[in-house]
Amino acid sequence: MKPVLAAQLYTVREFIQTADGLATSLNKVRAMGYTAVQISGIGPIPDAVVKSILDDAGLTVCNTHVRAAWPWNDLDPIIAQHHLWKCRHVAVGSMPQEYRVSEEGFRRFAAEANEIGERLSKAGLTFSYHNHSFEFVRFGKRTGLDLIYEETDPRYLKAELDTYWIQHGGGDPAAWIKKMNQRMPTVHLKDMVILNGQQAMAEVGEGNLNWPAILQACREAGVEWYAVEQDECQRDPFESLKISYDNLKAMGLQ
């Protein structure tokens, strides 16, 4: 499959809380050149309405961030939603706060994620974990992120690595992508700059990350979807999405 650029809708979350807002926003995203989106941060809009808006805008759903309370005990609505949207890839945006305080908590999360991933796999879906930087806490010689992937089955828990947050945690984005070879359907792309002495998010290609190495690692690792995300923007979020799209296209992606 040829890699596809997608817009992570969390970037424009304040504009997509209603059906009308979602429709306007998706049309803007499609006009930029994106052909796919990751659904995250949308308001309480019925799934069938979301599907109709996506179809009208000519957009595919590459992935989602499910907001159900963890652990996900009732998977039937999640499975039905993803089948309706024709989206194979399910993800959780983070782990709950109470899991983060100890190695035991990380192990518990990994065990639960593995079980959920196995159940989703039987429905023809994949399950991925999206990292931040707190997972780079160390337990002996390995990080929490190491623990999550070493203690889960690659068939049942995939990676949705975030380039900014890996760098923020002191990791090497390209090295981590290579480590997740054939285990990462979607990557999250955002850049890093220093503003007033602090790390800050930036449009892809406007900051200090090593994009040639990152994109080459993605190609080698078999990444299918390149999702542009920016949790915090220094300008209009739609303008940020467009800048990232144009820069990535200039780097050889479509």
Cβ atoms 125, 89 nearer than 8 A:
yes
pLDDT tens sequence across 165-206: 999 999 999 999 999 999 999 999 999 999 999 999 999 999
Q: What pLDDT, on the 0 to 100 scale, is given for residue 155? A: 98
Mean pLDDT for the chain overall: 97
Can you say how many angstroms the Cα of residue 192 is from the centroid of all Cα atoms in its chain? Answer: 17
Whether the per-residue pLDDT at 249 is higher than 80: the answer is yes
Position 2 confidence tier, pLDDT thresholds 50, 70, 90: confident
Position 3 confidence tier, pLDDT thresholds 50, 70, 90: confident
Give the Cα separation of 17 and 28 in Å (integer): 15
Q: What pLDDT, on the 0 to 100 scale, is given for residue 254? A: 67
**Tally of CA atoms within 13 A in the half-sphere of 93 that contains its CB:** 15
Which is more confidently placed, 254 or 11? Answer: 11
Cβ atoms 149, 158 nearer than 8 A:
no
pLDDT tens sequence across 51-70: 999 999 999 999 999 999 99
DSSP-assigned letter for residue 15: G
Whether the per-residue pLDDT at 139 is higher than 90: the answer is yes
Confidence (pTM): 0.96
